[in-house]
Amino acid sequence: MPELTAIIDRFEGEYAVLILTDGQILNVYRNFLDKNSREGDQVILTLNSSSKKNIKGEKKIRQLLAELTHKDHENS
């Protein structure tokens, strides 16, 4: 799984401001981090894809479209 490394730069209200290794800034909800996280701590972000959900959603949309198309033909 792809990972990104960041440093906690600061906290602003309910957000933590992270600086990625390439200098980009990322704001995340503070409650996504460990409650003991502090400014200067290193954070590892792991990225996951939800392709199964996308496939299920696409299948549902196709089914609904087929039903709507079928109803349109019945009403013609």
Three-class SS of 4-65: EEEEEEEEECCEEEEEECCCCEEEEEHHHCCCCCCCCCEEEEECCCCHHHHHHHHHHHHHHH
Sign of CA dihedral 55, 5, 17, 35: positive
Which range of 31-35, 61-65, 68-72 scores highest in mean pLDDT? It is 31-35
Asked if residue 53 has pLDDT above 70, the reply is no
Question: How much is the pTM?
Answer: 0.63
Confidence (pLDDT) at 51 = 65
Mean predicted confidence (pLDDT) in 42-59:
76
What structural domains does the chain harbor? 3-75 (2.40.50)
- Pair 58, 68: CB distance under 8 Å: no
Mean predicted confidence (pLDDT) in 3-10:
94
Higher pLDDT, residue 73 or 66: 66
